[in-house]
Structure 1
C-alpha cells in the first residue's frame, strides 16, 4: 500500500470510528491521560513490548526539525488484546502505523493511551474490542464469565470518607499503586475488571479463578465462620451461603492495600465486604452487587455493581505479571 493510499485508508477509518472510544480503568487513567482529547499521528514502530500487566508500543515520529521522537503508547494486558485480534508478532520494528491516542496530561511527555492503530496494509486494531458475543444461557453460576461487556456500566458509589481516608486520597500517586509491584487488586476491582472469570462449584466451596493476576478466590459454603485472628491475605477470607437463588459472599481478613478501595483510598484491617451473585432471568449474565465497609477510611459503606456475560466458548489465558513492565504504572 502506498503512503498516499495508507493516509486515505487511515482517515476513512478515523471518520468511521470517531466516536468509538474504549473505557479503561487499571490505574489512574483519568489522572494521567486527557480522556477528552484524541491525538492522531503516523510513525514507525521502534519497539513492541508484549508483556503484562500492559502491552506497550513505541513509535518514532519526526518532529518539525526532522528529529525522531519516540512515543510510548500504553495498551491493555495480553489476554484482552489477544481477544481483540492482536498477537505477539502483529507488529515488528519498522512497521509504518497510524495511531490515535489519549495524550498524557503532561505535554512534555511523549506518552499516550492507545485508542486505535492502523497498519500500512489496512489492518485496524483497537486494544479492547473482544467482548463475548455468546447467546448461550447458563443454568447455574458455574462456567466462564466475561467481565468486558459490563465494564462500561459498572458502578462504584462512595459516601463520606474519614479524615484519614481523605488525607490518603489527597496524597496518592501512581507510585503508590500496589500493582506496580505485581500485587493484585482486592475487591471491588478484582470483580469489576474486564477479564474472564471461571467459577467452579464444589461440595464445600465455590472457587472463582480470575484471569487478572491469576487470582483464585475460595468461598467456603460448608457452614464455617471466619477464623479468629486468622491470617490476613490479599483477597481475604470468604464464607458464602445461598438465599434462594442468590449467592451471598462475606469476606474479611484483608491485608492492607494502599489502593484497596480504589480512587487512592486504602483498605485496612477492618475491611468487610458482602457480595451478591445471581443469574439474570435469561441466564446470559451474572448480576453482581457489593457493599464494602472499612471504617478506618470510609464513614459510609461503598456500594457498587457489575455484570459478567456467560462465555462458555472462551478459555481464560495466562497472565504473568512482569515486574519491569508493572513499574511503568508509576509514570505520572
Structure 2
C-alpha cells in the first residue's frame, strides 16, 4: 500500500475545505490537513454523524486506526452518500482536518474510493425554484443570514464570558447526548431543513437536526404560571395580519442555551416573527432574544429560509452511544 500517512500534513493556504456545521467542529484544526491511504475497518452510517474508521501505516508506530468524522445522515445522503458506498476492506484515500488534541481523529475534507471517485459533504445555498403561498412547507436556511454568525456580535455578561471560556467541545456539548440547542439557534439552519405546519389550534416548527419538534399553541392560551421548564421552552403564537408571531418562555437553565458554550437562564425570552417574502420564495424570521443574566442587552436578528418543496425532511434518530467512542 502506498504510504502517505502524515506526509501530506499541510498548512492550508488556498486549499478549499468543505464546511461542516457540527457540534464538535471547534475541536478540529482547520489550518492543518492530514492525508493518507488506508483500509476501511468500519463504516458507521448513522446519526449523529457518519463515522469511517481507517487503518493505515505509521512509520514509527506501525498500524494505527484513524476515526474520521463526517456529517450526519441527512446532510450526507443529500451529498450522494449511501450506506453501501464503502465496506470494510476497501482501500480509500483520506484528506481530513485533525483533532487539536493530537488523537488519531479528524473531520473529513474528502474521501477517494478505489474507483477514483471523490466524495465530500456538498452543502451551500440553493437557487429559488418554487413559490410558496403560505408559511407551510419545507425550508432551507440561507447562509448569509445565519443566526449564529449574527449572534457572535452579541454583548455578553461576565458570567457568559467565563462559561464560554470554560466550555469543552468534547465533554460539555449537549448534542453528544442528542439534546438540541433551543430556539433561535435551530431556526434556519444552513445544513438541516426546517418544516412549518400550520393548524387551526397550533403550529409545529421542525428542524432535522436532532429531530427538533416545537409545538406552538395558537388557541388563545397564555404561558402557564409556574409551568414546567424545558430546554425548548413553552411557545404560544398568534397572527398579526399575515405574520406568525411565536413567543417562547419557561426555558430551563442550559449550558448552551444562547449558542455553543453560552448558557441561558430562567429569564430567557424569545419572540420570532415569521412572514413570507414578497416574491414567495423565502420565509423571513425576525428574532428578539432577551436573557439579562447572560446578555448585556437584547439581541435582535433576521434570518431567511428558502422554499424547498422538492427536498424531504429526514428523521435524525440520534444515538448517543455513537458519540461516546
Q: Shared fold (TM-score greater than 0.5)?
A: yes
The SS at the match of 1:90 is: coil
Q: Deviations over 1:239-297 (max 9, x none)?
A: 22233433221111112211111131111111101112222232222222322211121
Q: 1:284 aligns with which of 256, 281, 284?
A: 281
CA–CA distance in 2 between the matches of 1:101 and 1:129? 17
Aligned to 1:15: none
The SS at the match of 1:161 is: coil
Q: Aligned pair count?
A: 311
CA–CA distance in 2 between the matches of 1:188 and 1:24? 20
CA–CA distance in 2 between the matches of 1:182 and 1:25? 16
Cα offset for 1:44? Answer: 1.6
In structure 1, stretches of 5+ residues that fail to align are 8-17
CA–CA distance in 2 between the matches of 1:123 and 1:91? 12
Query: What does 1:304-323 correspond to in 2, within 5 Å?
Result: 304-323=301-320
Give structure 1 regions of 4+ aligned residues with deviation exceeding 4 angstroms: 130-134
Q: 1:138 aligns with which of 120, 123, 132?
A: 132
Between 228-237 and 301-310, report the one with greater CA deviation.
301-310
The answer as to whether partners of 2:156 and 2:295 remain within 8 angstroms in 1 is yes
Normalising by structure 1, we get a TM-score of 0.85
RMSD: 2.4
Aligned to 1:293: 290
Q: 1:181 aligns with which of 170, 177, 194?
A: 177
- From the two aligned structures, give the one with the greater helix fraction: 1
CA–CA distance in 1 between the matches of 2:282 and 2:187? 14
The SS at the match of 2:219 is: coil
> Would you say 1:238 and 2:232 are equivalent positions?
no
CA–CA distance in 1 between the matches of 2:72 and 2:168? 21
> Would you say 1:125 and 2:89 are equivalent positions?
no
CA–CA distance in 1 between the matches of 2:125 and 2:73? 14
Q: Deviations over 1:205-231 (max 9, x none)?
A: 211122222221122233322111111
Aligned to 1:26: 22
In structure 2, stretches of 5+ residues that fail to align are 5-13
Cα offset for 1:24? Answer: 2.9
Cα offset for 1:323? Answer: 1.6
Aligned to 2:200: 203
Between 232-241 and 83-92, report the one with greater CA deviation.
232-241
